Amino acid sequence: MKKYVIRRLFTVIPVLWLVSVLVFSLIHLVPGDPVLVILGTTAEKAQVESMRHKLGLDRPILVQYGTWVAGLLRGDLGRSIISDEPVMEMILRRMPVTLTVAAAALLLSLSMSIPTGILSALRHNTYTDYVFMGLVILAVSMPSFWLALLFILLFSVQLKLLPMMGYVSIFTDLWEGLRYLVLPAMSLAFILAALVARMTRSSMLEVLREDYIVTALSKGTPRRFIVFKHALKNAFAPVLTIIGFQVGFLLGGTVVIEDIYSIPGVGRLIFTAITNRDYPVVQGCILMVTIVYVFVNAAVDLAYAYFDPRVSFDRK
Amino acid sequence: MFVKRFFRNKLSLFGLAIVIILVLVSFLASYIQPYDPLKISISNRTQAPSKGHTFGTDHFGRDIYSRILSGAKISLTVGIVSVALGAFIGIILGAVAGYFGGWIDYAITLIMDAIISFPATLLAIGLMSVMGLGVTNIIIALGFIGIPHYGRIMRGAVLSIREKEYVEAARASGSGHLKLILIHVLPNAMAPLIVVTTIGVANAILIEAALSFLGLGVPPPAPSWGNMLADGRNFLIQAPWMTIFPGLAISFTVLGFNTLGDGLRDVLDPKLKQ
Amino acid sequence: MDHLLEVRDLSVSFHLLEGIVPAVAKVDLVLDEGEILGIVGESACGKSVTARSIMRIIPTPPGRINSGRVLFEGRNLMELPEEEMQEVRGEKISMIFQEPMTSLNPAFTVGDQISEVFRFHHRTSKAEAWEKAVEELRRVEIPDPEKRARSYPHELSGGMRQRVMIAIALACRPRILIADEPTTALDVTIQAQILKLIAQLQREIGMSVMLITHNLGIVASLAQRVAVMYAGRIVEEGPAEIIFNDHHHPYTRGLLRSVPRLDLPQRDLQEIQGTVPRLNDLPEGCTFSNRCDFVMDLCRRQESELRPVGEGHVSRCWLDQRVW
């Protein structure tokens, strides 16, 4: 088991390396001269040269990459073109906010979806099942930012229940923080909940058909143990994979959601940076968020082995 | 035999119906729309839905219904072409990786793993922010992002077939690499690929909408549904119809492709559901 | 004389898309204290469904128990509420299954799966149940039981997994063990070991065994009485000796003639003409009539009851005596 953990963590390294290469090359994908794009075509030559030097674009590509990675490993992502703040600091300041929203969305969606999925599986092919699965299909089709706007319309404007935008940390003020967290979390949670509910249902259905469930029955195991111990543990593994994958959509979706709700997170930072052509910030943000995602996926893989012990032993 | 099951499956029929409607709308938009989607008419600004304007008008007085019809073309084009591009490249890469194995496999898999390590929307935003706006760029960006999804399936199919005896037999009789792949592997990979591409179109449409919403997608004044939502956001309280209808259009489209994909998965899945 | 288990008039059908399949029809069985009853027949003859119906673990859609009484310890198991039936399962009547690979839960250790039985039925504490589980593993002759108890099913060989299943089934010392094809999925040498283990434990615990199999050799070596099933019915039943050497029903004859035997002079294997009919497409009258070498007009019109043809020996056939 330990070997499996180590092996899995090791595969992260080459992927992270390639991710860094891709992020690094972003700035070089700019058609034309990135410096001119940043400063505008009317900029003075001196300004252009100084900016080029500042961004390190006047050096050979490999040197650029090397310096960048070296900085990365030191925790130095460069400085913002606009504010000259260290990018890493800017990100670290906002990361907790984004992570809170994402975590809230995740918790909310899991608490909705897993019971729904189990219930649907147990009441397979009945009215309950059809209603839930119908809702699931609808939920999966709605863009999260549209949902966000609709929620604002309903809860903030019509019902005046919840604030339209802004953010208060739950660590400063739990109740107020929660009020500001509800709508953004809900906007993101629905889609994730739908996918998880569906996978939980189909996974449970498959597991409940397995022979070992019959064995458990023949042992005289009470029904709730059969569902919640024997079946659920086995059914959860594929659900976990879906969750891992969907955290990606969560992390990507926060950009839009933070913009709509004016939440001071990493997503909003990326967006303003893009508008300002603040490439170091853009690169830094994408890199950091992706690194988080890579580790989330690695954690999911490792957790998978807990739910399905067969995995850690036979690896292809 | 699959065709018969397909037509018996309610999900796939429903999805297919929606997709057909959308395709028809995209082609016929310019003929059936009551107004020019780009025509500005300040005097008609932000009118609620009425007999003259089924979905109302936006802040420039443009008819929302017509814009939605034209928007279908954009969404479908972006969705389908980007998926086709990604699938094409992905299938080739996946086949090469699975077939030749060794360091070629390792390199290609590593690249695909790296691409899929990025949250999709984030990568799309990053790419669009450096490449610049426009439908072509969106298609390239989304295609690029989609490559691993198709590549992995193809690679898996190649790997599982590679071991089978009849490939050995075919190879012994001197069949070329390409022929082997085409004849033996593709049918096997067809089913999951069809499902993934269909659902891929749904996702591509969603991401394009998000991009346009942020101003990183199709440049205005083109009636991309995402653009319309961006406009709608600024007038959320005064003219909620500017937000409601484009969103419904997106949802409807994505619903169609998702149900079609789900239905196809039910039909093509060897494990029958009782 | 009171039987340990009495099954009367059991009928089970399955309601599927293709139609209603009568899996088991009018089955009567008895099992006495300390005896081994063999139930033989080919695939889909209803023997598994019978066993699972006794335990009431048939999925009830699509299955349905149309009729039947199962008398055990003075109660009709068919009428018990589910909670009370749960107390019977695993403690008074246990079952082991054909596929040890898929019949054990891959997500839990072997020790945990055995402990469960103690914790549910005897309300034993977790720690104590674990110790007892290790003891049970020792009893079924698994080497190094303390370590093995912490293994997962996929880490064990097929034979060991089957031993684990036996340990689970016998943990609470049930009065009846139903063994549904316990050795079919195992290698031949392992089969012998497992059968020996079952026989040994049966003697030690003094339980009765319902041994279900299509392998006549197993039945011959272990069972005192044998019931032969065909197309969801019992077609012959009696002491093992008689069934093998002095059987009555033409199907039994056909079955025995299609098995190579070392104890008889060499002859060609004879197959029974025709194929086993689909349960939703049975012939009129006797279900074996379209394949029987001795069929009469009466057989095609009406199916016989189980008629006595000897001491403790019944046969579902119109023939009064053997005609071969």
Q: How does pLDDT run along chain A (316 residues), one tens digit per residue? A: 677 778 888 888 888 889 988 888 888 887 777 777 777 777 778 877 887 777 777 777 788 888 888 888 888 888 887 888 888 888 999 989 998 999 999 999 999 999 999 988 888 888 888 888 888 888 888 999 999 999 988 888 888 888 888 887 777 788 888 888 888 999 999 888 988 998 899 899 889 989 999 999 999 888 888 889 999 999 988 888 888 888 888 888 888 999 999 899 998 898 888 888 888 888 888 998 899 899 888 888 888 888 888 776 544 3
Dihedral sign (CA C194, C200, C202, C204): negative
Q: Tell me what the mean pLDDT of segment B246-251 comes to.
A: 93
- Kindly compute the dihedral angle of the four CA atoms of residues C231, C234, C238, C243, in this order, to the nearest 10 degrees: -10
Mean pLDDT of C256-270: 72
Interchain CB distance below 8 Å, C152 and A310? yes
* C107: chain A residues, CB-CB within 8 Å: 233-234, 307-309
What pLDDT, on the 0 to 100 scale, is given for residue B158?
82
At B182-223, the pLDDT tens digits run: 677 777 778 888 889 998 999 999 999 999 999 898 888 888
C180: confidence class by pLDDT, cuts 50, 70, 90 = very high
Q: How far apart are CA C112 and CA C103, in angstroms?
A: 15
- State pTM to two decimals: 0.82
Provide the token pair at A224.
């709730």
What confidence score (pLDDT) does residue B274 get?
Answer: 33
A276/C7 Cα distance (integer angstroms): 83
Q: How is A152-197 classified by DSSP, letter by letter?
A: IIIIIIIS--S-SS----TTT-HHHHHHHHHHHHHHHHHHHHHHHH
pLDDT digits (tens, 9 = 90+) for B71-120: 898 989 999 999 999 999 999 999 888 888 889 999 999 999 999 999 99
Q: How far is C104 from chain A (nearest CA, A)?
A: 5
Contact A160, A152 (CB under 8 A): no
Structure tokens at C137: 């593993």
pLDDT band at B165 (very low <50, low <70, confident <90, very high): low
Q: In whole angstroms, what is the distance from residue B251 CA to residue A146 CA? A: 9
* Higher pLDDT, residue A50 or B258: B258
pLDDT number for residue B181: 62
Q: Say how far apart CA B248 and CA B62 lie, in whole Å.
A: 18
Residue B106 contacts by C-beta under 8 Å, 6 or more apart in sequence?
none
List, for residues B11-32, the tens digit of each pLDDT value. Answer: 788 888 999 998 888 888 777 7
Query: Nearest 10 degrees: CA dihedral of B250, B255, B257, B259?
Result: 180
Angle between helices C158-170 and A211-218 (to 10 degrees): 30
Task: Tell me the Cα Rg of chain C.
Answer: 21
- Cα torsion A188, A194, A195, A197: sign: positive
What is the predicted pLDDT for the residue at B1?
Answer: 61
Which chains have 3+ CB pairs within 8 A of B?
Answer: A
pLDDT given at position C55: 92
Q: How many residues does chain A have?
A: 316
What number of other Cβ atoms are within 10 A of residue C77's Cβ? 23
**From residue A10, how far is each of A3, A26, B158, C63 by CA, in Å?**
10, 26, 26, 51
Helices (H) and strands (E) in chain C, counts: 12, 12
Q: Which candidate from C57, C82, C104 shows the least CB-CB separation from A212?
A: C104
Residues C117-128, mean pLDDT to the nearest whole number: 91
Q: pLDDT value at position A30?
A: 79
Which chain C positions have a beta carbon within 8 Å of A313's beta carbon? 154-155
pLDDT at C320: 79
Q: Report the largest interatomic distance among the alpha carbons of chain B, rounded to a whole angstrom.
A: 77
φ, ψ (nearest 5 deg) of residue A312 = -70, -10
> Does A239 lie at the interface with B, CB-CB under 8 angstroms?
no
Span B239-248, pLDDT tens digits:
888 899 999 9
Q: Map C211-251 to HEC letters.
A: EEECCHHHHHHHCCEEEEEECCEEEEEEEHHHHHHCCCCHH
Mean of pLDDT values over C292-321: 85
Residue C196 structure tokens = 């020996």
* pLDDT score at B273: 41
Q: How far is C94 from chain A (nearest CA, A)?
A: 7
Share of chain C above pLDDT 70, in %: 97
ipTM computed for the complex? 0.86
Of the listed ranges B142-156, B160-174, C45-59, C174-188, the one predicted with least confidence:
B160-174
Helix or strand or coil: residue C158? helix
Helix %, strand %, coil % of chain C (to 5): 35, 25, 40
* A124 has a chain C CB within 8 A of its CB: no
